[in-house]
Amino acid sequence: MKAVSIAANPQTELMTGMSKIKTEDAVSFAEKIKSNGTKGSQVYNCMEAFDKKHGKETTKDKGALTEKLLKEMQSQNNCPVVAAIVNLSLANTKSK
């Protein structure tokens, strides 16, 4: 996920990485991804920390907020999954 979080083309990086892992590792990975939104998970904790730091800021520019979130998550070693998700989302938005 760390490679996906910083990739210029995160979709390609994700698909390349997924094609290289064993079936049992893919199942384990899928289970971890499903639990990411639950309280206490790495994703939840990263997003909660971002919200505490930036929750009072306002903006009408969703793209700028997403870019800010991505940069902050990329700079933190404990948030590669969030950074990867945001990078994938941002890439998807740019491709439309």
Pair 16, 94: CB distance under 8 Å = no
Q: Write down the pLDDT at residue 34.
A: 80
Separation CA 14–CA 47 (nearest Å): 21
- The amino acid sitting at 11 is Q
The string of pLDDT tens digits covering residues 60-72 is 888 888 888 899 8
Question: Domain boundaries in the chain?
Answer: 2-94
Separation CA 55–CA 26 (nearest Å): 35
Q: Return the exposure string of 79-88: e unless at least 16 CB atoms fall within 10 Å of the residue's CB, then b.
A: bbbbbbbbbb
The string of pLDDT tens digits covering residues 43-94 is 888 889 888 988 888 888 888 888 888 998 898 888 888 899 889 988 888 7
Mean per-residue pLDDT, 9-34: 88
Q: Write down the pLDDT at residue 93.
A: 80
